[in-house]
Structure 1
Amino acid sequence: MWLTSSSIGRKLVMAITGACLVLFVTFHCLMNAVAIVWPASYNVICELLGANWYALAASAGLALLFIIHIIYAVWLTLQNRKARGNDRYAVTAKPKSVEWSSQNMLVLGIVVLAFLVVHLIQFWAKMQLQEIRGVEGTLPPSMGTLFIQEAFSMVYTPIVYIIGFIALWFHMNHGFWSMFQSCGWDNDTWLPRLKKISCWWTTIVIALFIAQAVVFTVNAHNDFYKTDDALRSQYVGVIGKMVGLPVDRVSSEQLPMVIEQNLNVLSDPQFAAQLSDPQVQMQTGLTPESHQELLSKYQHAKAFLDYFMIDNEAAPAAQPIEEQPEN
Structure 2
Amino acid sequence: MSELKQTFNSTLGKKLIMALTGLFLSLFLIVHLGGNLLLFVNDNGYSFNMYANFLTHFPPIEVIAWLLYITIIVHALYALILTIHNRRSRPVGYAVTPKAPASWSSKNMGLLGSILFLFIVIHMSDFWYKYKYTHSVGFKEYRTNVLTGERTESDFVPENEDFEHAQTFDGDVEIIKVKDIHTKVAQSFAMPVYVILYVIAMGALSFHLLHGFQSAFRTLGWVHRKYLPIIQFVGTWLFAVIIPLGFAAMPIVYYLQSLK
Task: Give the shorter-chain TM-score range.
Answer: 0.7 to 0.9
TM-score for both structures, normalised by structure 1: 0.61
Within-5 A mapping of 1:157-306: 157-202=194-239, 203-222=241-260
In 2, Cα distance between the equivalents of 1:50 and 1:152? Answer: 22
Q: Give the conservation status (yes or no) of the 8 Å contact 2:21–2:71.
A: yes
In 2, Cα distance between the equivalents of 1:77 and 1:95? Answer: 23
Identity %: 29
1:11 aligned partner: 15
1:59 aligned partner: 65
What's the offset of the Cα at 1:58? 2.4
2:56 aligned partner: 50
2:127 aligned partner: 123
In structure 2, the gaps of 5 or more residues are 140-177
Tell me which protein shows more helix as a share of its residues.
1
Structure 1 residue ranges, 4+ long, deviating more than 6 angstroms after superposition: none
In 2, Cα distance between the equivalents of 1:147 and 1:220? Answer: 13
Question: Max radius of gyration: which structure?
Answer: 1
What's the offset of the Cα at 1:138? 5.5
1:137 aligned partner: 136
1:79 aligned partner: 85
The number of aligned residues is: 215
What's the offset of the Cα at 1:96? 3.0
Q: Give the conservation status (yes or no) of the 8 Å contact 1:50–1:127.
A: no
Per-residue deviation, residues 243-300 of structure 1 (Å, max 9, x unmatched): xxxxxxxxxxxxxxxxxxxxxxxxxxxxxxxxxxxxxxxxxxxxxxxxxxxxxxxxxx
Secondary structure of 1:178's match?
helix
RMSD in angstroms over aligned alpha carbons? Answer: 2.1
2:74 aligned partner: 68
In 2, Cα distance between the equivalents of 1:119 and 1:210? Answer: 13
In 2, Cα distance between the equivalents of 1:178 and 1:60? Answer: 26
In 2, Cα distance between the equivalents of 1:59 and 1:82? Answer: 35
In 1, Cα distance between the equivalents of 2:27 and 2:111? Answer: 22
What's the offset of the Cα at 1:93? 4.5
Q: Give the conservation status (yes or no) of the 8 Å contact 1:3–1:13.
A: no
Secondary structure of 1:207's match?
helix
Q: Give the conservation status (yes or no) of the 8 Å contact 2:195–2:251.
A: yes
TM-score for both structures, normalised by structure 2: 0.75
1:265 aligned partner: none
In 2, Cα distance between the equivalents of 1:91 and 1:67? Answer: 35
In structure 1, the gaps of 5 or more residues are 131-135, 223-327
What's the offset of the Cα at 1:52? 4.7
Specify which structure has the bigger relative contact order, considering alpha-carbon pairs within 8 angstroms and separated by 6 or more residues.
2
Tell me which protein shows more strand as a share of its residues.
2
CA pair 139-106 structure 1, distance change in 2 beyond 3 A: same
CA pair 209-150 structure 1, distance change in 2 beyond 3 A: same
